[in-house]
């Protein structure tokens, strides 16, 4: 038997598998999907094109792009059974991602284990559930507000259809800005939710259970739940002149400054830099001006109060600003993040299923000495 290996808490910097999907290089402030700079893809390609890259391993040509967009457009349409279920279970206090859990479980109730499927069947299943996410999230949001569901339009782009189903309109400029955000957040290395999804998939379980495992981890405030909290911090601060006192109070109380710092990046978060570029170039609004001023004040205050500890804005800080500008309310920030990230989860789940080996670490027991016998 091999001797156990003790690793850092939280598996920090521990390599647990090989992947061809992408990587995050924290010291460089860089991340990529396959062999492509992720932020450059967000500037130049559609959400569907990058989704194709994640699924098939290459960027599509014009014909492949059109065919893929048509395919996922058709898969975006919810069954009548699921729509009726949402109408019955969604109330004002039901979160859209909680509704997504119910919908995925319902749609996948007869799903066979990944272990028993061919690679082609696994790919079809993964595509189907990732395609359903924006429709479910938008429907749940509207139902919680007392509005009826807006049906998916298979001929629309993924981003435009999501924004239309959620808000009732899809201004082209808003769609373009939102698409940049969605592409930016499709995948981001072996984060907690991606790893959770892969753990479930490693057992040979079905695709929906694997996605639900990822979704469960994603719902935590320390992971996907931060964009709304970052924008709430802006509201709490108010005028930029209040920032330093606010930061001082947070640090004294030992509280996390939402929207700043990252577990991997040791320099500027490239996603935050891109989203800041988008909002400052497209929106000359009080919110954007306040966000940029407060960002600068927070960085300065942290540097003054904790010399040598560099904390920069992360993706959640400007994600909330961008989504607010395109017409999405705070309760839709994390669900919108999930609409993008489910594509990355699906790609990782498929890669893990192809590996065919269960993830089985061990824990170090630190409790009382066990009693043997009677």
Active-site amino acid positions: 262, 316
Nearest to 19 by CA among 286, 178, 197, 185: 197
In the chain, DSSP assigns E strands to 22-25, 30-33, 36-37
239 vs 32: CA distance, rounded Å: 36
Helix (H) or strand (E) holding 151: none
Q: Which residue has the tokens 């929106």?
A: 283
Q: In a 3-state reduction of DSSP, which class is residue 311?
A: coil
23 CB-side CA count, 13 A: 11
Q: Which pairing describes strands 22-25 and 30-33: parallel, antiparallel, or unpaired?
A: antiparallel
The backbone torsions φ and ψ at residue 31, rounded to the nearest 5 degrees and listed phi first, read -145, 160
Helix (H) or strand (E) holding 23: strand 22-25
326 vs 310: CA distance, rounded Å: 31
DSSP state, residue 355:
H
Q: Which residues contact 355 (CB under 8 A, 6 or more apart)?
A: 17, 202
Sheet of 36-37, strands arranged across: 22-25, 30-33, 36-37
């Amino acid at each position: 038997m091999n001797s156990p290996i003790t690793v850092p808490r939280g598996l920090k910097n521990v390599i647990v598998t090989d992947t061809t999907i992408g990587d995050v290089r924290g010291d460089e402030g860089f991340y990529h999907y396959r062999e492509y700079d992720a932020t450059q893809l967000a500037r130049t390609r559609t959400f569907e094109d990058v989704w194709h890259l994640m699924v098939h391993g290459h960027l599509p040509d014009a014909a492949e792009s059109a065919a893929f967009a048509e395919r996922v457009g058709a898969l975006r349409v919810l069954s009548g059974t699921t729509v009726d279920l949402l109408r019955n279970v969604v109330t004002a206090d039901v979160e859209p991602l909680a509704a997504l859990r119910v919908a995925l479980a319902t749609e996948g109730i007869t799903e066979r284990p990944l272990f028993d499927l061919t690679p082609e069947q696994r790919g079809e299943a993964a595509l189907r559930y990732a395609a359903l996410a924006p429709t479910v999230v938008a429907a749940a949001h509207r139902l919680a507000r007392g509005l009826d569901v807006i049906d998916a339009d298979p001929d629309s782009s993924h981003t435009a259809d999501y924004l239309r189903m959620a808000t009732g309109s899809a201004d082209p400029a808003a769609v373009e800005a939102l698409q940049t955000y969605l592409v930016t957040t499709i995948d981001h290395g072996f984060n907690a939710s991606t790893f959770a999804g892969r753990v479930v998939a490693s057992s040979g379980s079905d695709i929906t259970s694997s996605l639900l495992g990822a979704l469960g981890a994603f719902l935590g405030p320390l992971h996907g739940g931060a964009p709304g909290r970052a924008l709430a911090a802006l509201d709490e601060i108010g005028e930029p002149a209040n920032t330093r006192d606010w930061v001082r109070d947070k640090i004294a109380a030992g509280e996390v400054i939402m929207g700043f710092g990252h577990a991997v990046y040791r320099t500027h978060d490239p996603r935050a830099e891109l989203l800041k570029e988008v909002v400052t170039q497209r929106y000359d609004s009080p919110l954007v001006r306040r966000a940029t001023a407060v960002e600068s004040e927070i960085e300065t205050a942290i540097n003054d109060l904790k010399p040598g500890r560099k904390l920069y804005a992360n993706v959640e800080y400007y994600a909330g600003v961008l989504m607010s500008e395109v017409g999405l309310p705070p309760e839709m920030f994390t669900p919108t993040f999930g609409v993008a990230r489910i594509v990355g989860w699906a790609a990782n789940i498929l890669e893990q299923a192809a590996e065919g080996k269960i993830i089985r670490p061990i824990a170090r027991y630190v409790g009382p000495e066990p009693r043997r016998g009677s």
